[in-house]
Amino acid sequence: MPDKEKRATPFGIAAAAVEKWLDGVGSAFATRRKIQDTRGHVASWDLELQHPTLGNQIVCISIPKDFPATPPQVYLDKQLCLVLPHIEMDGRFCHDVESSPIDYEQPTDAVVAVLESLKRFWILSSDTVWVTEEFQKERLSYWLRFCEKARLSNALPTPYAVRVQLRPLEVTTEGRLCAYYQKGQKLRSDLMVATLGDVDPHSLASRHGWAVKTQVQGHSLFVPIKDNIPWTPTDWPKTLQELEFFVAQATDHEQSVIHWIQNKSDKPNRPLMVILVQSMVCFGYLISPAFVSRVTSSRIIPVVIGRADPNWALARDHGPQVLAGRQGKKVLLLGCGSLGSPIAELLARSGVGELHLLDKEVFESENCGRHILGAPDIGLSKAVALTKRLHELVPDITIKAHRAFAANWIHNVCKPGSYDLVVDCTGESAVRVMLSHYRKHSLGACHLVHAWVEPFCAATHVVFLPYGTDWPPDDPGSKLAAAIWPEDIQVMLPACGAGFHPYGAADVWQSAGFTTERLLAVLDGNISEAVVWSSVRSQAFFNALGVDVVTGPIVPEKGLKYDSTQITRSLKDILADG
Amino acid sequence: MNQQPKIKKRSHLIVEKMEQRQESQQWEEFIVAMLRKLELPPDKQVAAERRYKEFGRHIANKLDVAETDVHVVVQGSMRTQTTIAGDGRENFDLDVAVKLSGPQFEGLRDSEPFFQQFGKALEGLDGSGKPSPKSRCWRLPYPGEPFYFDVTPAIPMSDEITGTDLRVRDPITTWSPSNPEEFAEWFCGIANKRLRFQIEQASKSFIEARSTIDPLPKGKVGIDDILRRMVQLMKLHRDSYYKQQTDERKEGKPISVILVTLAAKAYDEIVTHEPHLYSSSIEVALEIVDRMPKFIQKGSQSIRVDNPALNGKHRENFADKWNTDGGLRKREFDTWHKRLTADLESLFSEEYSKRSENRIRNVFGEHGMRAWKDSLPQGVLGGLLASAPTQSKSQPQAPRPSGYRNSLA
């Protein structure tokens, strides 16, 4: 690329400003690297810095090709990875400086910010206490690098991935292990799955589609270690003897790793893994069998462990306590259509323990535009296909499909006390009325929610009926409606009962989010009164529909087409209003 | 072995707690690093050496004696390797003795003309300032250098022509005996002794060094030279302590040679009789301090701290003045010693990470505390940062603007 052209781009101009400094007045302190480095930087300079404990160090500051979108990078001796914190395996210093909007205007500021960060690090890193604390603080990151180093250096068969279904544990607990190998590959496993107790790792792997080719069953040993036990580069066991010692210390000499290995060695070539668990963070050691039994000793391979249990996989929204509450909940969802299916997925991902889906219909191609399911599911039962999908997608959930009509199933199958919450997403008056009559008979002590949308998704209503409050059997839905709609707004098809209301996934998924948010509040025990939640579009939206609709008082007069309002009303008040 | 103490010593308890916190190594590293900062930097040591090596020829010329009759020997802290920056003065006090022999200096009765003649002879050294007289020596400044010399002229004891014992001018007693080399030899002989745990550590680290495949970057050292480092630490503490006291009290400040003698005797006792009892340098250090007072000989008539290297005929009591000052020096020694013990204990009882400016100042002095702060490498990128284009430097305190950070996806 010609120089002129390079300089004319925003990146080029920014790089040039830094070059002007560091090749100019800054060159007294920074020496430009003559040889282009392999990391793909525009330019790099070496700084010679005296470190209080490490002595003279060459530190390299580099301008990335996409600077200033990416801040300047600083590289130290890569041998310092795991000696000092915040140093990557390639020596890159994690300076924690993010790009700033002013960097395009004042590119050298970014360099100054990075140098200031390096300066702070230089001071702090001579303090052993700080170094240890930093290592401990981000111990998982450093462990990851340690494992990667081991993988790259010692030619031991580090598995490509290890997944664990962890549960909180108090004492050392045995578990199972399943290792998967590609065809013809006997040494390095593609994936290992470890489970606690008698849980079958293979069924877990099959459920989520992880299982590949040949499987070999083995054993795992989960050792909880106290939170205050340091786990920094100097603490990590590096030999079997050190691991033995570490585990003995951590378990008050109750657990011997070596004995455990010996006990499991009746059948050779079974994979064995020791998993240290510190505040639900796992650090694994794969035991590599002795090459010559009784002559060479077993070796240990540090491995990075990914957790695949709900406490990790489903807890980004809330703490483990809330999640534990949800995991104990059982929910029946009636209707797996355009509103029910996204609600089912949202509930499943929110950590609900058991979900039963009921729908009689078959998934058709015209459903693809506004459903969770898609073309591969055409012709399948909506309830069954959705169950299959969520079973695979969401760890640990118990999910069941009932391909049935709601009325039949509630009358014939459903037993009182089976559910904590029943959600009716059929949108059908007949189902609401049926439930009003069958609530005591079939549902018993459980909460009930009716959710539906008005035509064009102009409003969403969620009626919460706690145990003890019933929906009037005359189905007074119109009392809470946002608008009175004309009869002929369905798009008619040349078939009996095949008309539909026009709205898209983008509309109804908003309704699903609105509804699920409130269902979770119910499940979390935060709501006790019978209320109606409504999300209502503004008058401008209704006006733009071009149909003869009469809006009620809850429709906001102000606002543009895509404005809306969300309100909570007491069911009692609505029903009393006549 | 019946030397096991029945009651755990205080020094042991402090160190035990420190060990529990796993901090003794850090403390040792810190102390050694601190003392290094307060030592004469190596390049300046070379400069000083170059200077005093010029003394011999220069003085021989001036006094018109054979060069072979002039011997320059380092003494004091330079010889015992316990030099340390003083009470905030930038200058290091380096002691040099110039031994003069030959007929000109035999049988001298009066010390004064000899002393004055020597002072004159010191003048005109390259780079030096004007020498000024002290009681036994001439202070020779070197403007621009971080050190000055206290140059003590010495001649052989009149009745011992072949002996190594020397005499030096004393304004009150005319002559005083002096044996800088023997004293230093005595001190170094003790300082070089090692305790059992040090020997074991040394051999262990040797084995480790051989078996470690991937050694971590080294550069930190613990206190191996316990006695010398303790002497430095005591001098620092003494100087910083007395800096804050009244002039009257300053008069009674314990002199270095007494501290050196008592500390060496305490260390000698530990290393000779209880080499197995200790497991850490800091414990030994605290024990040295604890034992020092017991080597002050308290006779019925006088208090003595004898020059341990002057045996027989010429005794020298370093604590001579203690007997004629109404108890000032004895009191000051006791007060200071108590304070040193307390300051060290409070420093070591503290968590290493929380070591505070205050406690560091108490032990290492203002100068030490500043050296510590300066040593925090604030300046490491100073030059490069100062060369940054002006717009970058214009708002050094302004926080770096960030884009909107709450746009999540």
Q: Which amino acid is at B60?
A: A
- CB atoms A102 and B381 under 8 Å: no
For residue A131, the SS3 value is helix
pLDDT category of residue B220 using cuts at 50, 70 and 90: very low
Residue B389 counted as domain residue:
no
Chain A interface includes B220 (CB < 8 A): yes
Closest-CA residue of B relative to A25 is B387
Starting at the earlier edge strand, list the strands of the sheet with A306-307.
A299-304, A281-288, A272-278, A214-225, A173-181, A191-196, A162-165, A306-307
A558 CA: distance to closest CA in chain B (Å): 27
Rounded to the nearest angstrom, the gap between the alpha carbon of residue B282 and the centroid of all alpha carbons in its chain is 17
Residue A314 counted as domain residue:
no
Tell which of B178, B204, B223 closes a domain: B178
In this structure, the answer to whether residues A357 and A451 fall within a common structural domain is yes
Q: Which amino acid is at A427?
A: G
Residue B294 counted as domain residue:
yes
Rg (CA), chain B: 25
In this structure, the answer to whether residues B256 and B113 fall within a common structural domain is no
Mean pLDDT of chain B: 81
User: Cβ(A518)–Cβ(A431) under 8 Å?
Assistant: no
Lowest mean pLDDT among A56-70, A347-361, B41-55, B323-337: B41-55
Q: Which long-range contacts (CB under 8 A, 24 or more apart) does B9-14 make?
A: B9/B287, B9/B290, B10/B286, B10/B290, B10/B345, B11/B283, B11/B286, B11/B287, B11/B290, B12/B283, B14/B282, B14/B283, B14/B286, B14/B345, B14/B348, B14/B349
CA–CA separation, B153 vs B111, rounded Å?
10
Tell which of A286, A308, A330 closes a domain: A308
CA–CA separation, B11 vs A325, rounded Å?
55
The number of C-beta contacts closer than 8 angstroms across A and B is 93
State the CATH number of the domain containing residue B111: 3.30.460.90
User: Cβ(B226)–Cβ(B284) under 8 Å?
Assistant: yes
State the CATH number of the domain containing residue A31: 3.10.110
Chain B contacts of A137, Cβ < 8 Å? none
In this structure, the answer to whether residues A368 and A475 fall within a common structural domain is yes
In this structure, the answer to whether residues A406 and A526 fall within a common structural domain is yes
Kindly compute the dihedral angle of the four CA atoms of residues B117, B121, B123, B127, in this order, to the nearest 10 degrees. -150
Choosing among A53, A81, A87, A154, which should be mutated to test the B contact, i.e. which has the most B CBs within 10 A?
A53
In this structure, the answer to whether residues A66 and A158 fall within a common structural domain is no
In this structure, the answer to whether residues A296 and A328 fall within a common structural domain is no
User: Cβ(A533)–Cβ(A566) under 8 Å?
Assistant: yes
* Residue A331: both structure tokens together: 């929910």
Nearest to A345 by CA among A307, A382, A308: A382
- CB atoms A53 and B220 under 8 Å: yes
Residue B408 counted as domain residue:
no
pTM (2 d.p.): 0.64
- Could you tell me the residue range of the domain that residue B301 belongs to? 10-37+186-374
Q: Which of residues 20-59 of B touch A (CB under 8 A)?
A: 26, 29, 33
- CB atoms A113 and B381 under 8 Å: no
Question: Per-residue pLDDT tens for B353-407?
Answer: 555 667 777 787 777 777 666 655 445 787 788 788 865 554 445 678 888 878 8
Total domain count for chain B?
2
Question: Per-residue pLDDT tens for B241-289?
Answer: 898 899 999 999 999 999 999 999 999 999 999 988 888 888 899 999 9
In this structure, the answer to whether residues A77 and A182 fall within a common structural domain is no
In this structure, the answer to whether residues A441 and A465 fall within a common structural domain is yes
- CB atoms B392 and A127 under 8 Å: no
Residue A249 counted as domain residue:
yes
pLDDT score of B4 more than 60: no
Residue B382 counted as domain residue:
no
pLDDT of residue B86: 62
* DSSP 8-state class, residue B137: S
Chain B contacts of A21, Cβ < 8 Å? 387-389
ipTM of model over 0.95 = no
Residue B283 counted as domain residue:
yes
pLDDT of residue B90: 56
Taking phi over 0 as left and psi of -120 to 50 as alpha, with beta for the rest, B4 belongs to beta
Per DSSP bridges, beta strands A30-32 and A41-51 are: antiparallel
pLDDT category of residue B85 using cuts at 50, 70 and 90: confident
A129 CA: distance to closest CA in chain B (Å): 6
Token pair 């949800």 is found at A326
Question: Per-residue pLDDT tens for B130-184?
Answer: 999 988 899 999 988 888 899 999 888 765 444 557 888 888 888 887 888 888 8
B334 CA: distance to closest CA in chain A (Å): 36
In this structure, the answer to whether residues A117 and A151 fall within a common structural domain is no
Token pair 């909570």 is found at A568
Q: What is the number of residues in chain A? A: 578
- Could you tell me the residue range of the domain that residue A176 belongs to? 139-308
In this structure, the answer to whether residues A185 and A63 fall within a common structural domain is no
Question: Per-residue pLDDT tens for A2-59?
Answer: 455 555 899 999 999 999 999 988 888 899 998 776 677 889 999 988 887 788 899 9
Residue B46 counted as domain residue:
yes
Chain B interface includes A115 (CB < 8 A): yes
In this structure, the answer to whether residues B104 and B190 fall within a common structural domain is no
pLDDT score of B209 more than 50: no
Q: What stretches in chain A show pLDDT beneath 70?
A: 1-7, 37-38, 154-155, 290-296, 578
Rounded to the nearest angstrom, the gap between the alpha carbon of residue A518 and the centroid of all alpha carbons in its chain is 21
CA–CA separation, B292 vs A302, rounded Å?
53
- CB atoms B400 and A102 under 8 Å: yes
Using alpha carbons only, give the angle A322, A466, A407 rounded to the nearest 5 degrees.
Answer: 110
B91 CA: distance to closest CA in chain A (Å): 24
pLDDT category of residue B202 using cuts at 50, 70 and 90: confident
Tell which of A254, A273, A308 closes a domain: A308
B404 CA: distance to closest CA in chain A (Å): 9
Q: Which amino acid is at A160?
A: Y
In this structure, the answer to whether residues A15 and A157 fall within a common structural domain is no
Residue B343 counted as domain residue:
yes
Chain A interface includes B394 (CB < 8 A): no
B93 CA: distance to closest CA in chain A (Å): 27
Residue A94 counted as domain residue:
yes
Tell which of A79, A99, A130 closes a domain: A130
Chain B contacts of A101, Cβ < 8 Å? 401-403
In this structure, the answer to whether residues A369 and A298 fall within a common structural domain is no
C-alpha atoms less than 13 angstroms from C-alpha of A340 in its C-beta half-sphere: 28
In this structure, the answer to whether residues B226 and B368 fall within a common structural domain is yes
Nearest to A74 by CA among A135, A104, A119: A119
Total domain count for chain A?
3
Residue A315 counted as domain residue:
no
pLDDT score of B335 more than 80: yes
Residue B391 counted as domain residue:
no
Closest-CA residue of A relative to B37 is A52
In this structure, the answer to whether residues A84 and A162 fall within a common structural domain is no
Chain B contacts of A20, Cβ < 8 Å? 389
Chain A contacts of B384, Cβ < 8 Å? 26, 29-30, 47, 115
Choosing among A74, A84, A108, A236, which should be mutated to test the B contact, i.e. which has the most B CBs within 10 A?
A108
User: Cβ(B154)–Cβ(B277) under 8 Å?
Assistant: no
Chain A interface includes B409 (CB < 8 A): no
In this structure, the answer to whether residues B33 and B46 fall within a common structural domain is no
For residue A286, the SS3 value is strand
Residue A412 counted as domain residue:
yes
In this structure, the answer to whether residues B282 and B334 fall within a common structural domain is yes
In this structure, the answer to whether residues B231 and B336 fall within a common structural domain is yes
